[in-house]
Amino acid sequence: MTDDRVIDVVEDLERTLLDFMRKHHITHDEYRRARDLVISSVKEGEESLLLDVFLEAEATDIGNLGRPGSAEAIEGPFYRPGAPRLSRPYRMPQRPDEAGRVLVFHGRVTDTGNRPLAGAELDMWQADATGRYSNVFPGIPEWNLRGRLTTSEDGSFAVETILPPPYEIPKHGPMGTLLGALGRHSYRPAHLHVKVRHTGHRDLTSQLYFRGGPYLESDVANAVRDGFILDLVRHDPPPGANSGGPHGPWVDAHHDFVLAPLAAAAADHAGGALPRPS
């Protein structure tokens, strides 16, 4: 069965790429190297990194045009479905000696009419203090710093975690080599990933950054947008408390999510543009 959208988009992409190859006199050897880069990036565990770094932010910008509620952000390569459901008071799964400054992330989930959404799910994932994700990089407990929590009756949530550092794309993999050849650095600013879900509303993939941190202006994935940057509020421990580790200064950050009604999804090509892999 043919699909008109697939024909339009894929045939234009094909023409555009063939024109591009002629324009730059892409040789057979260069073609083979590009092909090997894509294959090795996936095989060496970088997954969708190549595509997500170069293209995903543009796709979210396009999807955000006319989208009601909070804007979508890039998902990146390292989301894993099935993170543990946490119980209150919420604290992200972590090692007893998890490194990093304590961060309390809190806010509210509402609909576009500013009505609180109780029981909305926040599915969160983030890097640890060494900049690595569990269930991706070896040597980290399964589901570490990944978890799901739900909002209270008033739509509010609060979760204790650690402040992640900037994320550095592995230097020695295929993407690191490419970025080196381009003379670009390979950093993303520190960030939290969150998917927010509630029955009857569009799922929201969000990503939040911290004001004042490095690489906000030069994210290798060019995905930082104004509304995604949180202000960190610093809190000092009570006098006399051990000032190191988890008893040192901690920070909190606030963010509200606004979920769009499901009906709005029909207005665009959501889910309809390309065949989904089964």
Which positions touch Fe ion (CB under 5 A)?
A: 76
**270-274 long-range Cβ contacts below 8 angstroms, 24+ apart:** 270/63, 272/5, 273/5, 273/6, 273/9, 274/5, 274/6, 274/9
Strands 204-210 and 229-230, by their bridges, are: parallel
Q: Minimum distance between the CB of residue 76 and Fe ion, rounded to whole angstroms? A: 4
Cβ-closest position to ligand MBD: 76
94 versus 150: smaller Cβ distance to ligand MBD: 94
Q: Minimum distance between the CB of residue 205 and ligand MBD, rounded to whole angstroms? A: 11
Name which of 246, 249, 213 is nearest 231 in CA terms. 213
150 versus 186: smaller Cβ distance to ligand MBD: 186
* Spatial distance between the Cα atoms of 242 and 81, rounded to a whole number of angstroms: 38
* Spatial distance between the Cα atoms of 224 and 189, rounded to a whole number of angstroms: 8
CB 128 within 8 A of CB 144: yes
Binding site for ligand MBD (CB under 6 A): 49, 52-53, 74, 76-78, 167, 169, 188, 221
74 binds, among ligand MBD, Fe ion, none (CB under 5 to 8 A by kind): ligand MBD
116 versus 131: smaller Cβ distance to ligand MBD: 131
Name which of 140, 131, 126, 274 is nearest 206 in CA terms. 126
52 binds, among ligand MBD, Fe ion, none (CB under 5 to 8 A by kind): ligand MBD
Q: Minimum distance between the CB of residue 167 and Fe ion, rounded to whole angstroms? A: 5
259 binds, among Fe ion, ligand MBD, none (CB under 5 to 8 A by kind): none
Cβ-closest position to Fe ion: 76
Q: Minimum distance between the CB of residue 165 and Fe ion, rounded to whole angstroms? A: 11
250 binds, among Fe ion, ligand MBD, none (CB under 5 to 8 A by kind): none
Q: Minimum distance between the CB of residue 71 and Fe ion, rounded to whole angstroms? A: 17
In degrees rounded to 5, what are phi and psi of residue 116?
Answer: -65, 140
Name which of 130, 133, 136 is nearest 145 in CA terms. 133
* Spatial distance between the Cα atoms of 202 and 66, rounded to a whole number of angstroms: 14
Q: Minimum distance between the CB of residue 143 and Fe ion, rounded to whole angstroms? A: 16
- CA angle (95 as vertex; 235, 204 as ends), nearest 5: 70
56 versus 121: smaller Cβ distance to Fe ion: 56
102 versus 192: smaller Cβ distance to Fe ion: 192
